[in-house]
Amino acid sequence: MTTMESPSPTDTAPAATLLTRTVYLAYGVTAYVAFLVVFLWAIAFVENASIVIGGVDIVPRTIDRGGPSTGVVAAVVVDLGLLTLFAAQHSVMARDGFKRRWTRIVPQPIERSTYVLAATACLAALLWWWHPITTTVWDVSTSALRWVLVAASLFGWVLVLTSTFLINHFDLFGLRQVVANARRRPLPPYRFITPLWYGIVRHPIYLGFVIAFWVAPTMTAGHLLFACATTGYVFIGIHLEERDLIRDFGNDYVEYRRRVPMLVPGLRARRASGPAHARVA
Ligand SMILES: C[S@@+](CC[C@H](N)C(=O)[O-])C[C@H]1O[C@@H](n2cnc3c(N)ncnc32)[C@H](O)[C@@H]1O
């Protein structure tokens, strides 16, 4: 395990009043709750679930159902636009250079919560304005096999959620930062760790998404577009994330990368002589 000092939220706001700290805490909790609601909606969206409460389906739009109906070309353009917005927000706002400039405007303790809120807004926009393209690509007719595929897809979501807890769920979603600030405590150092799934693949959260998006008993053209685009983004995200991790944790991460495969369990991991940016002096 390697650690790196995180900026203490109280360092940058020594004179923060109780009211300011309480407002930051409320902001962080709001961002987290908004994220949870939209994340649950995202699961229902991808799984094409209907959840009927009091005679009303609370999932009116899914990947294949209920969205605006237009021609295929318009649907592809809109859907790719929404996916690009989501990917751009994630890629840009997660980078250290952006964070350094951004925290001149947004106070350090709520930087992560602001990221979470922006990501949640982009995800909600994608779920709401997604244009289904319902041409069938494959459709498994055997009922038992359909259930196996649904279970496998749900396992993908379980992998995502459990992995966030393995590395630090509350840190990823900004809660730890606002709570530490409210209590005027410094943040514990940011740690590189490799528990459970992280000993099998380096990116279990992304693997979970790939499983959840690709394993479907019925695959439509719209769903396939979603799965292809998000998988492409996963590879870009991994490239950017690993560059940061190597910069922060040096040879520990290079060694981890040599030992543990990226996404496919058991697949040979990268050899020691990787590309130039993988080698740390
Ligand atoms: C959305 S999470 C995705 C983590 C990982 N790529 C995955 O798929 O499980 C991104 C954050 O996780 C952090 N992270 C990735 N691997 C980590 C590890 N082994 N230990 C601690 N933090 C890690 C990155 O620094 C980044 O801030």
Which ligand 1 atom minimizes the distance to the CA of 245? 25
Mean pLDDT of 46-53: 93
Which ligand 1 atom minimizes the distance to the CA of 238? 6
Lowest pLDDT segment from 88-97, 110-119, 176-185: 88-97
CB of 192 closer than 6 angstroms to any ligand 1 atom: yes
How many whole angstroms from 37 Cα to the centroid of ligand 1?
Answer: 22
- Tell me if residue 136 falls in helix, strand or coil: strand
* Cα(46)–Cα(210) distance, integer angstroms: 12
Nearest to 67 by CA among 16, 123, 125, 110: 125
Gyration radius from the chain CA atoms: 20
CB of 253 closer than 6 angstroms to any ligand 1 atom: no
Lowest pLDDT segment from 11-15, 155-159, 218-222: 11-15
DSSP 8-state secondary structure symbol assigned to residue 104: T
How many whole angstroms from 88 Cα to the centroid of ligand 1?
Answer: 18
Q: Whose CA is nearest to atom 6 of ligand 1?
A: 203
* Side chain identity at residue 226, one-letter code: F
* Cα(119)–Cα(278) distance, integer angstroms: 28
pLDDT of amino acid 97: 84
The string of pLDDT tens digits covering residues 57-73 is: 999 899 999 978 789 99
Q: Is the CB of residue 74 less than 8 Å from the CB of residue 163? A: no
- The answer on pLDDT for 248 being more than 50 is yes
pTM of the entire predicted model: 0.89
CB of 245 closer than 6 angstroms to any ligand 1 atom: yes
Q: With bands split at pLDDT 50, 70 and 90, how would you rate the model's confidence at 232? A: very high
CB of 80 closer than 6 angstroms to any ligand 1 atom: no
Asked whether the ipTM of the predicted complex exceeds the cut of 0.95, the reply is: yes
- The answer on pLDDT for 273 being more than 60 is no
Full DSSP string of the chain: -EEEPPPPTTTS-TT--HHHHHHHHHHHHHHHHHHHHHHHHHHHHHTT---EETTEES----SSSSS----HHHHHHHHHHHHHHHHHHHHHHTSHHHHHHHTTTS-GGGHHHHHHHHHHHHHHHHHHH------EEEE---HHHHHHHHHHHHHHHHHHHHHHHHH-HHHHTTHHHHHHHHTT-PPPPEEE---GGGGT-S-HHHHHHHHHHH--SEEEHHHHHHHHHHHHHHHHHHHHHHHHHHHHHTHHHHHHHHHS-SSSTTSPPPPSS--GGG---
- The two tokens of residue 52 are 């009927």
pLDDT of amino acid 14: 52
CB of 203 closer than 6 angstroms to any ligand 1 atom: yes
* Cα(72)–Cα(85) distance, integer angstroms: 20
How many whole angstroms from 67 Cα to the centroid of ligand 1?
Answer: 33
Nearest to 163 by CA among 193, 205, 212: 205
CB of 209 closer than 6 angstroms to any ligand 1 atom: no
Mutate to test the pocket of ligand 1, among 236, 245, 246, 264 (most ligand atoms within 8 A of CB): 245
CB of 167 closer than 6 angstroms to any ligand 1 atom: yes
Q: With bands split at pLDDT 50, 70 and 90, how would you rate the model's confidence at 270? A: low
How many whole angstroms from 215 Cα to the centroid of ligand 1?
Answer: 23
